[in-house]
C-alpha cells in the first residue's frame, strides 16, 4: 500500500519535466525559470524534511502519511489551474512542503516493522516505486502534452491521489500501535547526529549521488528532445525508461545483497554503497555525452543499475548506525541533503546549459561523487575496525 502511495508521489513530481517545451509556449518559461521548477520543489521539499522527520518521531506516523497524500493532491490540482510563471512556481513550492510529509513517517513505519535481516529489501522494494513513478510520470506528461493538454495531466493525478488517500488510511489505521506510535524516549535532533561520523559521511555520499540523479531526472528528457530530435512523448519515455529500469533492478539486487551480507559483516551495506557510488559516477557522464541512442541506452541502464546498489542500502545503513528514536529525523536529514544538492544541480544545469552544457556539468558532479565515495569508505572502515577490536 505504501508502494502505491510513493508511486503516486513520484508521478506527481516527475510529470512536469516532460512538458518543459509546452510550458515555454503556453506560460512563457525560459531555461533559467524551467530550472527553477525543479529546484524550488526540491529545495523546499528538502528543507522541510528534518522538521517533518522530527514530527514523525513524536506524532503518529500513519496520520502524517494520510494527510500528506491529500495535501499534495490538492497542490497538484492547483498547479494545473495556474496561469502564470510565478503561480506555477509557487504551487511547485507547495508541493514540496506537502510531499515532504510522506517520506520520513513512511520509512519509519517500514524500518520499525522490519528487523535488520529484512530491512534493506523492505526499504528497497518501497523505494522501487520512485523508479516506476518517474517512468510513468515522464511518459504520462509527454503523452498529455502532445495530446489533450498538459493541464489535464495534473487534474487526473489530483483525482487519483484524493481517491487513494482514504483507501490507504483504512489500512494504516489497522497497524499495531507500537508501529504507528512514536518511539519511547526523547527523539534525537540533527545536532545530536552531528557527532556520528558514519552518518555524516553517508549524508555527504547521498548529497553527491543526488547531484547526478536530479540533473538526469529533470533535464534528460529535454536533452534528448534537443540533441536527438525526439518528440516530447518519446523523449520522456526514453530518458526515464533505461535509467529507471536499471535502477529498479539495482535497488532490489542491492537491497537483497545488503541484507544477506550484513548478517556476516556489519559494514556490508556501507561497502555496497561505496561501490555503487564510485561505479555510477562515470556512467552518468557517459550517458549525457553519448552521441547515439544505442550508446545512451546502454550507459543509462548501467548508471541506473549501479546507482540502485547505493539507493537500496542508504536508509537501511543509516538505521544501522542510529537509534530508532531518531529514525525520522535521520531519514529527513538525509533527504534534505540529497534535495539541496539535487535542486542546485537542476538550477545550475538550466543556468549553464547553453555554455558549459549538461554533460560538462555532470563531469564535475561525477568527480565529486568519486571523492565522496572514498571519504565514506575510509570513515566506515575506521568506525567498524575500531568496534571490532577486542
Look at residue 28 and tell me whether its pLDDT is greater than 70: yes
pLDDT value for 130:
83
Domain, as residue range, for 92: 2-387
- Would you say the pTM of this structure is higher than 0.75? no
Mean pLDDT of 300-327: 86
Contact by Cβ (8 Å): 217, 351: no
Task: Report how far residue 243's alpha carbon sits from residue 240's, in angstroms, rounded to the nearest whole number.
Answer: 5
Q: Which three cell numbers stand for residue 187?
A: 527523539
Count Cβ atoms below 10 Å from residue 356 Cβ, excluding itself: 15
Choice between 29 and 249, residue whose per-residue pLDDT is larger: 249
Mean pLDDT of 228-254: 81
Choice between 389 and 298, residue whose per-residue pLDDT is larger: 298
pLDDT value for 134:
80
pLDDT value for 187:
54
pLDDT in tens, 68-89: 999 999 999 999 898 888 899 9
pLDDT value for 181:
60
CATH number, domain containing residue 13: 1.20.1250.20
pLDDT value for 184:
56
Look at residue 290 and tell me whether its pLDDT is greater than 60: yes
* DSSP category for residue 173: T
How many domains is the chain built from? 1
What average pLDDT does the chain have? 84
Mean pLDDT of 218-232: 76
pLDDT value for 244:
82
pLDDT in tens, 333-380: 888 888 888 878 877 887 777 677 777 888 999 999 999 999 999 998
pLDDT in tens, 91-102: 999 998 898 888
Model confidence at 21, pLDDT cuts 50, 70, 90, reads: confident
**What burial letters (b/e) apply to 177-215, b meaning 16+ CB within 10 Å?**
eebbebbeeebbebebbeebebbbbbbbbbbbbbbbbbb
Mean pLDDT of 246-268: 85
Contact by Cβ (8 Å): 279, 223: no
pLDDT in tens, 155-201: 999 999 999 999 999 988 888 766 666 555 555 555 667 778 889 99
Model confidence at 227, pLDDT cuts 50, 70, 90, reads: confident
Q: Which three cell numbers stand for residue 125?
A: 522494494
Question: Cell 494545473 appears where?
Answer: 80
Amino acid at each position: 500500500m505504501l508502494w502505491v502511495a510513493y508511486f503516486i508521489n513520484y508521478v506527481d513530481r516527475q510529470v512536469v519535466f516532460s512538458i518543459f517545451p509546452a510550458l515555454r509556449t503556453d506560460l512563457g518559461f525560459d531555461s533559467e525559470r524551467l530550472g527553477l521548477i525543479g529546484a524550488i520543489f526540491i529545495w523546499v521539499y528538502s528543507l522541510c524534511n528534518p522538521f517533518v522527520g522530527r514530527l514523525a518521531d513524536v506524532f503518529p506516523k500513519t496520520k502524517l502519511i494520510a494527510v500528506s497524500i491529500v495535501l499534495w493532491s490538492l497542490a497538484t490540482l492547483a498547479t494545473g489551474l495556474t496561469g502564470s510563471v510565478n503561480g506555477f512556481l509557487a504551487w511547485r513550492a507547495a508541493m514540496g512542503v506537502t510531499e515532504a510529509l510522506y517520506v520520513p513517517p513512511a520509512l519509519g513505519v517500514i524500518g520499525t516493522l522490519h528487523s535488520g535481516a529484512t530491512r534493506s529489501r523492505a526499504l528497497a522494494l518501497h523505494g522501487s516505486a520512485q523508479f516506476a513513478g518517474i517512468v510513468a510520470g515522464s511518459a504520462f506528461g509527454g503523452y498529455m502534452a502532445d495530446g489533450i493538454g498538459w493541464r489535464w495531466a495534473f487534474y487526473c493525478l489530483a483525482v487519483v491521489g484524493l481517491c487513494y488517500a482514504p483507501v490507504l488510511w483504512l489500512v494504516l489505521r489497522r497497524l499495531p500501535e507500537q508501529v504507528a506510535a512514536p518511539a519511547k524516549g526523547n527523539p534525537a535532533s540533527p545536532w545530536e547526529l552531528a557527532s556520528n561520523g558514519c552518518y555524516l559521511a553517508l549524508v555527504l555520499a547521498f548529497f553527491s549521488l543526488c547531484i547526478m540523479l536530479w540533473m538526469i531526472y529533470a533535464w534528460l528528457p529535454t536533452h534528448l528532445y534537443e540533441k536527438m530530435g525526439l518528440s516530447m512523448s518519446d523523449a520522456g519515455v526514453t530518458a526515464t525508461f533505461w535509467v529507471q529500469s536499471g535502477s529498479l533492478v539495482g535497488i532490489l539486487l542491492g537491497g537483497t545483497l545488503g541484507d544477506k551480507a550484513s548478517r556476516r559483516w556489519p559494514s556490508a551495506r556501507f561497502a555496497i554503497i561505496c561501490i555503487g557510488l564510485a561505479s555510477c559516477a562515470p556512467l552518468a557522464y557517459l550517458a549525457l555525452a553519448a552521441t547515439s541512442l544505442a550508446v545512451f541506452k546502454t550507459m543509462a541502464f548501467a548508471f541506473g543499475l549501479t546507482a540502485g546498489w547505493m539507493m537500496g542500502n542508504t536508509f537501511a545503513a543509516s538505521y544501522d548506525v542510529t537509534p530508532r528514536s531518531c529514525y525520522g529525523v535521520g531519514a529527513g536529514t538525509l533527504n534534505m541533503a540529497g534535495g539541496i544538492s539535487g535542486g542546485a544541480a537542476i538550477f545550475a544545469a538550466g543556468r549553464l546549459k547553453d555554455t558549459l552544457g549538461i554533460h560538462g556539468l555532470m563531469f564535475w558532479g561525477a568527480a565529486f561523487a568519486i571523492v565522496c565515495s572514498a571519504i565514506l569508505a575510509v570513515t566506515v572502515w575506521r568506525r567498524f575496525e575500531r568496534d571490532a577490536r577486542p
